[in-house]
Amino acid sequence: MQVLVRDNNIEQALRVLKKKMQREGVFREMRQRKAYEKPSERKTREKGEAVRRARKAQRKQMQREGLLPMPKPKPRVAGPGRGAPRTA
Measured CA distances, 74 to 31, 53, 58, 88 (Å) = 30, 22, 22, 30
* Mean pLDDT (whole number) for 64-83: 80
What is the structure's pLDDT at 11? 94
Evaluated on CA atoms 10, 14, 20, 24, the torsion sign reads positive
Spell out the domain ranges in the chain: 1-35, 37-69
Alpha-carbon torsion angle 80, 74, 20, 16, nearest 10: 0
Give the CB-side neighbour count of residue 15, counting CA atoms within 13 A.
5
The model's pLDDT over 8-48, given as tens digits with 9 standing for 90+, comes to 999 999 999 999 999 999 998 998 899 999 999 999 999 99
What is the structure's pLDDT at 50? 97
What is the structure's pLDDT at 16? 94
What is the structure's pLDDT at 83? 60
* pLDDT above 70: residue 56: yes
